[in-house]
Chains A and B, each alone.
Chain A
Amino acid sequence: MPPAGIWIDGLIQSCIYMTMAFGMVLVFSILGILNWAHGQFYMFGAIVVYYTITAWGIPFPISILISGLLMAGLGISVRKLVIDRVKGDLYVGVATISLIFFFEGAASMLFGMQDRGLSTVLPGVINLASFSISYQKVAVLFFTLVVLVAMYIVLNFTKVGLAIRATAQQPDAASLYGVSVGRLSLIVMGIGCGLAAMAGSIMAPVYAVNPFMGRIPMIMSLLAIVIGGIGSLTGAIAGGLMLGFLNSVIAYYLSYLSEVVLFLLVIFILLVRPQGLFGASLK
């Protein structure tokens, strides 16, 4: 049985994959596209937080909100200036893949390529029985809980949430009932990118900040939504949760072979249950 520290580590990773995957699925549900540059919003979120804290001394929680709002705005701009102007899902995919390299290049020029850290944010550890956990990681747990609760409330108890769920199920019917699908898709794009940015922000003190830090979280959140079921918000959470624990536990037992096993697992799920664990059956 892996030690407690491995399970805690898995939970931390799950938190980020859940947040990222949730944002991706939200965008997919309304826009019908996968935003391949989702990881770069994670990266920008971390960079924004780095600057708001080190250059302007803005407290960490407010910095996270600022990065979420700014990147929500960038996401809306991407939607209007790029995605809306490209016809065809394939070409939208190509466009968002191109954005990966554009954003990384821009970040490299503006931020530089050297790794930077925010080790001074929430320093220290809590010593528990057989392991320790840093305050930074406790903040990740708390953040994820807040985000999930907030999204639950928004989706289930607000008009916007109702409109999102209606549009995700039946966009034409929702439109007939007066939902402005175009405007809603902008809001959803903003929420999705904002969530990715805030995930990057909360992880900035935990890891190192650099222009290429969004690649792995993007791939992992993609795996999470495949496992959970593309189009299923519950699946995104379940997939993210599973993936974080699996990644940590498998790496503990098999070291670098964890990636191989994870991708084999994804292929297995696609073969046995292509709609994922919580997705609707494909017919």
Chain B
Amino acid sequence: MKRTYSIAIILVILGMVFGITLALKPAQAAEPIIIKVGSPTPLSGPAGPWGQIGIPPSQTWLDLFNKEGFKVGNKTYNFQLINVDDMNTPEGGAAAAKKLIYEDKVKFIVSHWSWNFPSVSAVANQAKVIYLCRTGNEAVPGGVYDPKKQPYTVFANPSHEQFISDIFAIAEAFPNYKRIGINDSTLGKGIGWDYVDRELDKAKIRYHHEWYPPGTQDFAPYITRYNEAGCDIIYGAGDVMAAMLITKQRWEMGFKTWRTGTSGGILDPMMYIGVSGMEASQGFMGQYFANWDFKKTKVDPKKIKRCQEVMEIVSKKQGKPYTYTAWIGWFPHHIEILTQAMQKAGTVDDPDAIMKAIRGGTFDTTIGKFTMSGAKTYGSPIVFGTPGCMSQIKGNKEVYLSEHPLTNLP
């Protein structure tokens, strides 16, 4: 009997010790909940390089972002990025959007810059999936954008507006310019350019437009026309091959003092030097998203630090300096908008509540703090600003040139 009591007491004491130990052990943190985001991007075809180059830094940035994660309510979330090839075609865009939404079950579509916006938007809005992209012909006055039909579309990157900002930045960098020659392939011809022209006219910018058939490699006729129009700066709408060939050919034709450039980030200065030649490509201009170099737009130092860390990591992985900066203004910028919108709305699941938080909201992202234009402007009620920063090639590097932040959309 005595022995039985002794064993029982020992067991109770052991049980109490065990229970106290368990109670004192800190509760294991819950795993972050994954939110899938899809990115239709050209991974094949002529536009493939521009889609592919953005993937390593975007994923690296996301890995760093996910280390902290973000909270909505008392839950922690991480994002998972899924890239699908949209082939830069309307059919490819629609197919990519359908795959992302219905097979991969993404909650949002982000970072979309291909010109097949309408097809992706149609699929996303039908499924009530919030879609962050750039503006295009559809978002300008007279365009096809209809906020009632596309209530889940966010123009997180201005396109024509940014081009206008680029031109302003160039004019400010070279106040004694004669005339700016603007070029685009006929694929880009649309009402968006009428809108650009109106804004440039309002600002009394001297310019001259040229269009060329897609695939053109010989620009001598166009360069001659630019010369006859009195141009001394040639700026393209984003066709990198055209810009490189214009840069080369204008040099060979004797117009060595002309400046050239194109909308969009400079992929790699050595690519331009390889095609155009070292001398000809000096001063070549492009959009610059190196937030550590911004002089007029303030960016949260923590966000700058993370972007620089990404550049270092990607450079190390690929074994050579990674110089492309446009990715900073796309994927991480969109994720920041989504994160802050979900936190403001207090939900990750209600797209209407999240959209309400986005419209007219102010967001602090990798390219600065801007307010979404809540008022109905250009037929598009939501457009984010842009730092409007330009760079140029100097030697074999890309350096800061000028800045004209687009804070207030006209």
Write the residues of chain A forming the contact surface with B, with a CB cutoff of 8 angstroms: 2-3, 5-6, 9, 12-13, 108, 112-120, 123, 125, 127, 131-134, 137, 207-208, 210, 212-213, 215-216, 247-249, 251-252, 255-256, 258-259
Contact = CB atoms under 8 A, between A and B. Distances in A.
B217 A213 contact: yes
A259 B186 CA distance: 11
Interface stretch (B2-10, B126-134, B207-215): B207-215
Contacts of B240: 115
Contacts of B395: none
A31 B179 CA distance: 54
A262 to B, nearest CB: 10
A135 B255 CA distance: 16
A113 B254 contact: no
A176 B141 CA distance: 73
B45 interface: yes
Contacts of A210: 46, 241
B275 A115 contact: yes
Contacts of B45: 113, 212
A9 B276 contact: no
A133 B225 CA distance: 17
Interface stretch (B70-78, B164-172, B196-204, B244-252): B244-252
Interface residues of B, number: 38
A215 B215 CA distance: 8
Interface of B: 44-46, 48-49, 52, 186, 210-213, 215-218, 220-222, 224-225, 240-241, 244-245, 248, 251-254, 267, 271, 273-278, 280
B28 to A, nearest CB: 46
13 contacts: A113-B45, A116-B274, A118-B274, A119-B275, A119-B280, A123-B277, A207-B217, A208-B245, A210-B46, A248-B221, A252-B224, A255-B210, A256-B212
A216 B244 contact: no
Nearest to A54: B274
Contacts, number: 105
A216 B242 CA distance: 14
B212 A208 contact: no
B217 A255 contact: no
Contacts of A120: 277
Given A115-B241, A207-B245, A256-B213, A6 B220 contact: yes
A115 B244 contact: yes
Given A115-B271, A131-B254, 7 more contacts: A2-B224, A115-B244, A116-B271, A132-B252, A212-B45, A248-B221, A249-B221
Contacts of A247: 218
A255 B212 contact: yes
B252 A117 contact: no
A5 B49 contact: no
B213 A13 contact: no
Contacts of A125: 251-252, 254
